[in-house]
């Protein structure tokens, strides 16, 4: 399903996600925050509306749910 480069990208994102998990925040929000950090270099602020890679977000969410 994923190539070698893509595997390491997901490994890196999954590792970041594991460190950012907060019990009061949903998995969907955590995935969104990690993809935002990956894309923009920082976690989002309260009213951050910058776009993220939606395909990457959905793929990471599916990966984390499995």
Span 17-33, pLDDT tens digits? 666 666 667 888 888 88
SS3 64: helix
Domain definitions of the chain by residue range = 4-65
Structure tokens that stand for 42 in this block: 């920082």
CA dihedral 49, 53, 56, 59 (to 10 degrees): 60
SS3 50: coil
What pLDDT score was predicted for residue 50?
83
pTM, 2 dp: 0.64
Residue 12 has pLDDT above 70, yes or no: no
What pLDDT score was predicted for residue 1?
45
Span 30-66, pLDDT tens digits? 888 888 888 888 878 877 778 888 998 898 888 878 8
């Amino acid at each position: 399903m994923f190539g070698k480069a893509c595997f390491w990208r997901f490994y890196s994102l999954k590792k970041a996600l594991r460190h950012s998990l907060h019990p009061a925040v949903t998995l969907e929000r955590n995935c969104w925050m990690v993809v935002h950090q990956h894309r923009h270099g920082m976690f989002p602020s309260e009213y951050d509306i910058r776009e993220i890679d939606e395909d990457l977000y959905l793929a990471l969410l599916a990966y984390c749910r499995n």
